[in-house]
Structure 1
Amino acid sequence: MKCTKNEIQIKKKDNTAQIKKLMDKADVLFDTYKFVNSYYYYNEAQLLCDTKTDYVDYVYALTCMASVEQTLGDYTASEILLTKTLPHLKKIKKPRFAANVYSQFGANYYYTYDYNNSLLYYTKALHLKTSYYRKIVALNSISLNYLKQKKYKLAESILIPLSKLKVIYKKDPFINDDEYSRILDNLGLCYSEQGKPEALDYYKRSLAIKLRLKEYNGLIYNYLHFAEYFQKSDPSLAKTYALQAYELSNKLNDNTTKLQSLKLLTKTSQGSDVKKYTLKFIQLADSITTLKKKSKKQFARIKYYSSQDKSENLQLKDEKVTNDLYLERQKKRNIISYIIIIFTVIFSLFLYLYLKLKGRKEKNEEILKSEMRISKKLHDELANDLYQTRAFAQNKDLEQNENKENLLNNLEALYSKTRNISKENSLIPTNEFYHIALKEMISGFKTPNINILLNGLSEILWNQIDKNKKIIIYRVLQELFFNMKKHSDATLVSVTFKIVNKNIVIGYTDNGVREKNNPIIFKNGLQNVESRIKTINGTIIFDDHSQNSFKLSFTFPL
């Protein structure tokens, strides 16, 4: 028997007080660098938000969660969370919320080397009607993008005027000096990149402010910039600054800057110190990889179980209201009706529990398979390289320039391979944000020497494609790009997407150098490409007639 809207009126609970309590707790944890714990409470708060009335709290919580994901290096997850805020920004009168979202978009693109998109979002933040202080911060970030693009004159045109202005942040004068110090440091970096001696003066002025403020997080970067500046002209002084950065990173437990400091120490040290810092670098790189994987798993569990609890609670509330009304109507009916109702409820509960347990078992099995695959990947691709590098460091005379250079190259390769394994095994969103994740993964292979062209990606209706096929596409393209980066000197890569006769056709081309008349041999990654495509009834075609490029296309039904 159906219940009309007039018969059932569910009054929505006002969660304002509980949301504020969760937000306050999350803010305290965030400010004390307890990111995983703060993430949990921000997530709990946003689940309580009604986006029609609590949209300000909803946007703030998602922005903070995105900041945590960004801090721990998961830029795809951060971008997905930020995208959820966009429909609600126009409802918020205060432009600072939109400025925060745009600035975080800009930072995500900056950290993934997509400087054009980073500039686009920082410029959006700049054009909002925000405070004088926020505009200065946006301009400072824009100048960093120009620095990375080696557009030094454009960077100078922003930083020189900023260095002559007074930064104003009314709520906290401390922040005024801190941001001014960052401006001076960036201007010093701009001059240093051009080999201009003026860089040293700006570095010193920035360092003096940071020391006075005791702003230790920013102070680490001042020391690192000094170490880079003196690396060639005065290696001993450069080592002193690198050691100061390393010690401060240890004190603050900042693994990212600790790794940068160790890298500089291996370049500026001599004798047994090279071996010591090399071994520390290797151990830390391995530790960071493990830590990031654990953090990502924790975030995935938090999201999964929180959304599951919310869904179950809403379902139970709806069932309670409906059952109360139904039982009220059944008071005048005979005993047989009661027996039927009780039997139906028991059967439904049994079915619900059975399906829930089955789903949980399947999920646990998938998690176990994933962990075994990651473990094998680390053992096969990283463990042997780590052992060989350790042995090289212990057995070779590192005072010889040739041995030292080989060691540094090995460390760069280990660091790159560690990041690749982390990216390769990250979670793949298969919902409406799939195309964003796919684009971000491909963009991650873009470097100043490698240009990537994408055609037709946005024209595919990804929501109509099976989840498993989307995962296969992601992994196949990832494998092809890894193969390109490892086995060729390609400078241009093109990927095209199109639909032909109810089939998806994806073409891949790069201009990597190949030996003449050398047939395609399926090894390692290319074997994985072929086997994955076969699992979705697809076909793969290689163009082995081209001598100056590598081409293939694969097709599978929708």
Structure 2
Amino acid sequence: MYIDLILISFIGAVFFINPNEKTVEKKSKKKYQAIELDKLIKKADKYYDEEKLDSAYYFYNKVLPLYDPEIDHTKYVYTLSSMAYIQTLIGNFIESEELLTKTLPYLSKIKEPIYARNVYSNMGINYYNTYDFENSLFYHTKALKLPGTPYKKAIVLNDIAHVYMEQNRYDIATEILEMLTARKIVYKREPLLSDYFYASLQNSLGVCYFNLKKPKALDLYLKSLATNLQGTNKFILLNNYKSLSDYYMENNPELALQYAKKSYETAREVNANSAKMELLAYLIKLSKGSELKKYTIDYIKLTDSVINSRKSARNQFTNIKYYSKINKDENLHLKAEKAENELKLQQHKTSNIISGVIITFILTLCIILSFYLSIKGRKQKNNAIQESETRISNKLRNELLNEVQNVLTYAKNNDLETADNKNELLESLEKIYSQTRNISKENSDIITDKRYSLTLKNMISTFKTTDTNVFTNGLTDINWIKIDKNKKIIIYRVIQELLVNMKKHSSATLAGVNFKVIKKNIIINYTDNGKGVNMNQVSKSGLQIIENRILNVKGEIQFESNPDNGFKISIKIPF
């Protein structure tokens, strides 16, 4: 990188010495750049088709800052939406939504409706996976209103039907699916896909009939299965076997277990980890004896593997994002220098050689500074990653290791065919799964834009249970847009830490977080009715983390607690 920048500075000096060649060289460079960008996009598409998502994302991310969205609307939107869909595939739904939001100002400038439809459909899928079904329906409906072939509209209608199914509104979903299955819609480019899609519609309609206690559910299941068995795509067989297992659950448990095993074996063949976890949990409920113990151990091992792979994937995409920002900053810096050079070219045509030497000297200083800052930034970033990984690994070890060990010991030493032992085992597995999801949420990125108040509110609401009620007051009265981004992140983490401690240690049944603004200060009062602590005896290691965060933004914090008298904390942070 250092040598490349020196070459750029040398070329900048030559521009000053040879101004008559400037126009020809600019046109040639622009044409060359367009060809190179197309090559990068084709490379990214190739990796995507080969399901090498990390490599595809790297090249999409590399080419994105080189497009001018005001000129290259279509390519800019295509690149962003491709990156967003990759984020959706690996489960980063919020990150995917942020990328898609950047496309919205440019969709009206693109004539082809396919780009807007893909963006709206992907947003609908993201909201579906985060259980925001109203917004999911909103964006799927926007996609449906756009011009498109009958096949494209059928895909969107199928997505809408699945949202209604997830809401248990099977009657509405049935109307949509009956309309779609009345006549097979053919996709002319790939007719085989039409067969798979129609079989999928039949299976979904069968699920609706089954839940509405209507006849013909089994007939639809079997027709869908027969079609999919003729193809080579084994992934689509997962839902067929699962649906048949659900159908026979009450009347023929042995046949239900056989179909559940087929579904699990298919998931293993196509290496679908999420499906394997879901089906293992399903098999645990259906199995007995040695099979129950085997599936339980497999479930625990797979859970641990998924945790590690998701952690690795998150770090990998974080690295791509981080180095992309460095490259973007360097590109902007070089563009600014280029504009400065062109201005000086027009003002000092008679002193070309002197100007060239001066600009070369200035650029060399900038290069040295950029090189120094780049090294410093890498060190800071590596330290931050190491601290984050250490904290996450400690949390996984402290919170999950004992639980997993206890479940393994329990499974080996107890008779799992008895109802009580089996139920206790299922509750332990559910607890491990819940802890895994909580750790994932605690270490995810925090949205700090205009959706911050909703993000904060949603985080607080996740601590509500049947035994504990958590309420907020005044959160939406604060104009969070005016608050510094770092302060919003600290407020989010502090409240999250307080609620985690409440859930683990206090046995509280009621907790409240009150927000208000007094004299350009944000006042946050937290209180719960838990068992409290003796402030003279308690170790302040946990509270010290909270206190340090508040002091870092020049805030103030006060603790108040006594045994059996709850816990109170007051925080003041300046605007």
Class of the TM-score when normalised by the shorter of the 2 chains: 0.7 to 0.9
What pairs up with 1:150-549 in 2 under 5 angstroms? 150-196=168-214, 198-316=216-334, 318-319=336-337, 322-323=340-341, 326=344, 344=362, 346-430=364-448, 438=456, 441=459, 460-479=478-497, 482=500, 498-506=516-524, 518-519=531-532, 527=543, 532-533=549-550, 535-536=552-553, 537-539=555-557
Give ranges in structure 1 of 5+ residues lacking alignment: 1-5
C-alpha separation in 2, matches of 1:448 and 1:85: 41
Determine if contact 1:95/1:129 at 8 Å carries over to the other structure.
yes
The SS at the match of 1:88 is: helix
Name the amino acid aligned to 1:300: T
User: Does the C-alpha gap of structure 1 residues 171 and 491 become closer, same or farther in structure 2, counting only changes over 3 Å?
Assistant: farther
Determine if contact 1:103/1:125 at 8 Å carries over to the other structure.
yes
User: Does the C-alpha gap of structure 1 residues 220 and 488 become closer, same or farther in structure 2, counting only changes over 3 Å?
Assistant: farther
C-alpha separation in 1, matches of 2:172 and 2:534: 48
Tell me, yes or no, if structure 1 residue 112 matches structure 2 residue 142: no
Name the amino acid aligned to 1:399: E
User: Does the C-alpha gap of structure 1 residues 206 and 396 become closer, same or farther in structure 2, counting only changes over 3 Å?
Assistant: same
Determine if contact 1:220/1:248 at 8 Å carries over to the other structure.
yes
The SS at the match of 1:206 is: helix
User: Does the C-alpha gap of structure 1 residues 21 and 356 become closer, same or farther in structure 2, counting only changes over 3 Å?
Assistant: closer
Determine if contact 2:532/2:561 at 8 Å carries over to the other structure.
no
Structure 2 match to 1:556: 573
User: Does the C-alpha gap of structure 1 residues 162 and 368 become closer, same or farther in structure 2, counting only changes over 3 Å?
Assistant: same
Determine if contact 2:170/2:208 at 8 Å carries over to the other structure.
yes
Determine if contact 2:117/2:146 at 8 Å carries over to the other structure.
yes
Structure 1 match to 2:10: none
Structure 1 match to 2:12: none
The Cα shift of 1:534 comes to 5.2
Structure 2 match to 1:90: 108
Name the amino acid aligned to 2:67: C
The Cα shift of 1:509 comes to 8.7
The SS at the match of 2:147 is: coil
Determine if contact 2:557/2:569 at 8 Å carries over to the other structure.
no
Which 10-residue stretch deviates more, 135-144 or 56-65? Answer: 135-144
Which 10-residue stretch deviates more, 349-358 or 143-152? Answer: 349-358
Tell me, yes or no, if structure 1 residue 141 matches structure 2 residue 159: yes
Matched pairs, number: 548
The Cα shift of 1:387 comes to 0.9
Superposition TM-score, scaled by structure 2 size: 0.82
Determine if contact 1:540/1:555 at 8 Å carries over to the other structure.
no
Determine if contact 2:534/2:561 at 8 Å carries over to the other structure.
no
Structure 2 match to 1:23: 41
Partner deviation per Cα, 1:235-265 (whole Å, 9 max, x = no partner) = 3222222221222222211111111121122
Which 10-residue stretch deviates more, 373-382 or 419-428? Answer: 419-428
The Cα shift of 1:216 comes to 1.9
C-alpha separation in 2, matches of 1:88 and 1:335: 44
Superposition TM-score, scaled by structure 1 size: 0.84
The Cα shift of 1:373 comes to 0.7
The Cα shift of 1:166 comes to 2.5
The SS at the match of 1:217 is: coil
Partner deviation per Cα, 1:165-202 (whole Å, 9 max, x = no partner) = 33233322222222222222222222333455543222
C-alpha separation in 2, matches of 1:218 and 1:490: 46
The Cα shift of 1:456 comes to 6.7
Determine if contact 1:451/1:493 at 8 Å carries over to the other structure.
yes
The Cα shift of 1:89 comes to 0.8
Name the amino acid aligned to 1:44: K
C-alpha separation in 2, matches of 1:462 and 1:98: 30
Determine if contact 1:450/1:490 at 8 Å carries over to the other structure.
yes
User: Does the C-alpha gap of structure 1 residues 68 and 457 become closer, same or farther in structure 2, counting only changes over 3 Å?
Assistant: farther
The Cα shift of 1:533 comes to 4.2
C-alpha separation in 2, matches of 1:542 and 1:118: 44
The Cα shift of 1:342 comes to 6.7
Identity of aligned residues (%): 45
The Cα shift of 1:271 comes to 1.0
Determine if contact 1:113/1:447 at 8 Å carries over to the other structure.
no
User: Does the C-alpha gap of structure 1 residues 262 and 337 become closer, same or farther in structure 2, counting only changes over 3 Å?
Assistant: closer
C-alpha separation in 1, matches of 2:357 and 2:46: 54
User: Does the C-alpha gap of structure 1 residues 94 and 500 become closer, same or farther in structure 2, counting only changes over 3 Å?
Assistant: farther
Root-mean-square deviation over aligned CA pairs: 4.0
Partner deviation per Cα, 1:266-319 (whole Å, 9 max, x = no partner) = 122211111111111111111111111111111121122234224324533553
Determine if contact 2:513/2:527 at 8 Å carries over to the other structure.
yes
Structure 2 match to 1:3: none
User: Does the C-alpha gap of structure 1 residues 500 and 143 become closer, same or farther in structure 2, counting only changes over 3 Å?
Assistant: farther
Structure 1 match to 2:3: none
Which 10-residue stretch deviates more, 64-73 or 129-138? Answer: 129-138
Tell me, yes or no, if structure 1 residue 32 matches structure 2 residue 50: yes
C-alpha separation in 2, matches of 1:308 and 1:483: 37
C-alpha separation in 1, matches of 2:510 and 2:222: 42
Determine if contact 2:506/2:532 at 8 Å carries over to the other structure.
no
Determine if contact 2:471/2:513 at 8 Å carries over to the other structure.
yes
Determine if contact 1:275/1:398 at 8 Å carries over to the other structure.
yes
Name the amino acid aligned to 1:231: M
Which 10-residue stretch deviates more, 535-544 or 164-173? Answer: 535-544
